[in-house]
Amino acid sequence: MSEETGTKKPKTLFTKRIQHAGSPDSDGPVIVLFVGIHGNETAGVIAVDNVLEKISANIESVNGSLYAIRGNLEALSQGHRFIDTDLNRLWEMYNTEKDFSTSLASDEDMPVEYLESLKVKSAIENIIEKHNSDKQKIIFADLHTTSSESCAFILINDTLANRKLARKFPVPQILGIEENIQGTLLSYINNLGYRALGFEAGAHTSWNSISRSEAFIELLLHYSGVMKLNDDELEKLEKEIKTYEEVPDTYFEVRYHHLIADARNFNMLPGFTNFDPVDGGIPLAYENGKLVSAPESGRIFMPLYQKRGHDGFMIIKEVSPLWLTLSGWLRQSFNHSILKYLPGVTKIDEQSFEVDREIARLYVKEIFHLLGYRVTEKDSKTFICYRR
């Protein structure tokens, strides 16, 4: 075992769903963390234990609450990413015809993760009910690690409220990940109307991932006012999570997403670190015996170095500062009701539009992104644009 890698076990067993510290009756801010949504990602689980200990020792200086919800208890106890299905890809089913919450009792063959998600969902609902005064008061964050080596980074659904919160952290920020990865817990929380950050601390097996997760949690407590740090502590923790020198801590968007059917037939070429610059055309992986090349230049993002999951790799690019400013301004001032008068655009409901791509051909994604919409493909001829 080197200094950098090794098996890590948290201080408490994986039986407890919710941990809490702070003053639940106070009117202060509420931070809700998700850890262990993937069972092979224990850095966040350990980091939470350590921060909770610190909070409990300084309880008189705490204003508000910290909750931690452990995700996939069964997968955590076995050390696997998941047992039957990915717990971070199923949240889109709630409140649709695929919602399994009512049929579960009668079907014992349901995936383990369906049950786990129901328990996580009920934990979320209990916390919201307990602190149900102001949506601005509650902040959610989901802590993960990656299969490749990586600096720390943040993933957000691109709303202005999320951007404002995420920007406080000196790490790269990936916008609009929910268009490429569907059914995430983050999107579910965003749809409930709360701010939600995804924090990726580094590689699954790196000790740095624990210290960066701790730094992220303490900084989140500080920025939200739950537990203030002094200037020296603040500087030290910001340094701790700060990105590698060669990766700017600006905004990135996903330009390409390589989906795979079976991770067992997919092999990334060795040596890629998250955010490595890649030129278009260079070989990246083998899939079913064939070479897969980068379709365009950019930076490689979340290359898959484990035999589970469906996201082979992505290509990301920096977002221009002009676009960021313009989109911020437009989202606050634009009259969205006029969109329905554009050719090929049909209003579905208050928050969404359907776009006929054979009529509206140019810059549909770009325009709707600027205005704060999530754009997904319903089929090859139709986009669904949903206002976040």
Q: Does 144 bind Zn ion (CB under 5 A)?
A: yes
Closest CB 249 distance from Zn ion, rounded Å = 21
Q: Map residue 66 onto helix, strand or coil.
A: strand
CB of 144 to Zn ion, least distance (A): 3
Binding region for Zn ion (CB under 5 A) out of 46-54, 141-149, 209-217, 257-265? 141-149
Least Å distance between CB 38 and Zn ion?
4
Query: Is 40 or 243 the residue whose CB approaches Zn ion more closely?
Result: 40
C-alpha to C-alpha distance for 373 and 387, rounded to whole angstroms? 4
204 binding Zn ion? (CB under 5 A):
no
For Zn ion, which is the closer residue by CB, 145 or 191? 145
Smallest separation, CB 377 to Zn ion (Å): 25
- For Zn ion, give the closer residue by CB, 31 or 143: 143
* Cα atoms in the 13 Å half-sphere on the side-chain side of 135: 10
Stretch that binds Zn ion, among 34-42, 133-141, 164-172, 218-226 (CB under 5 A): 34-42
Please tell me the count of residues contacting Zn ion according to CB under 5 A: 3
The total number of residues written for the chain in this structure? 388
Q: What is the DSSP letter of 335?
A: -
Stretch that binds Zn ion, among 37-45, 64-72, 120-128, 346-354 (CB under 5 A): 37-45
Min dist. Cβ of residue 315 to Zn ion (A): 20
**Are the C-beta atoms of 195 and 165 separated by less than 8 Å?**
yes
**Residue 256 bridge partners (DSSP):** 315
Q: State the minimum distance, in angstroms, from the CB of residue 343 to Zn ion.
A: 41
Q: Which residues of 217-240 are buried (b: 16+ CB within 10 A; e: fewer)?
A: bbbbbbbbebbebeeeeeeebbeb
| Residues 40-59, mask of contacts with Zn ion (x by CB under 5 A) | -x------------------
Q: How far is the CB of 198 from Zn ion (least distance, A)?
A: 9
In this structure, what DSSP letter does residue 191 have? H
Match 């509420």 to its residue by tokens.
30
Listed residue (4, 139, 117) closest to 71, CA to CA: 117
What is the C-alpha to C-alpha distance for residues 281 and 35, in angstroms, rounded to an integer?
37
DSSP at 205: T
Rank residues 62 and 189 by Cβ distance to Zn ion and give the closer one.
Answer: 189
- Report how far residue 372's alpha carbon sits from residue 353's, in angstroms, rounded to the nearest whole number: 13
Bridge-based pairing state of the strands 18-22 and 138-146: unpaired
Q: Amino acid identity, residue 151?
A: C
Please give the residues from 352 up to 371 whose contact with Zn ion meets the rule CB under 5 A. Answer: none
Residue 209 or 224: the one with the smaller Cβ distance to Zn ion is 209
Q: How far is the CB of 89 from Zn ion (least distance, A)?
A: 11
Applying CB under 5 A, the span of 32-40, 111-119, 281-289, 290-298 interacting with Zn ion comes to 32-40
Per DSSP, the three-state class of 303 is coil
d(CA 299, CA 321) in angstroms, rounded, equals 18
* Cα 88 to Cα 145: distance, rounded to the nearest angstrom: 13
Residue 187 vs 224, nearer CB to Zn ion: 187
- In the complex with Zn ion, the residue whose CB is nearer, 68 or 367, is 68
Question: Of the ranges 123-131, 144-152, 281-289, 293-301, which one interacts with Zn ion (CB under 5 A)?
Answer: 144-152
Would you say 144 or 222 has its CB closer to Zn ion? 144
User: Where does this chain touch Zn ion (CB under 5 A) — which range of 39-47, 67-75, 227-235, 359-367?
Assistant: 39-47
Select the residue whose beta carbon is closest to Zn ion and give its number. Answer: 144
Q: Which of 30, 34, 38, 301 binds Zn ion (CB under 5 A)?
A: 38
Residue 329, classed as helix, strand or coil, is helix
Q: Contacts for 102-108 with beta carbons within 8 Å, 24 or more apart?
A: none
81 or 299: CB nearest Zn ion? 81
243 closest CA partner among 217, 277, 211, 212: 212
Of 109-117, 137-145, 301-309, 375-383, the segment contacting Zn ion by CB under 5 A is 137-145
Structure tokens at 222: 């500080």
Can you give the binding site for Zn ion, defined by CB under 5 A? 38, 41, 144
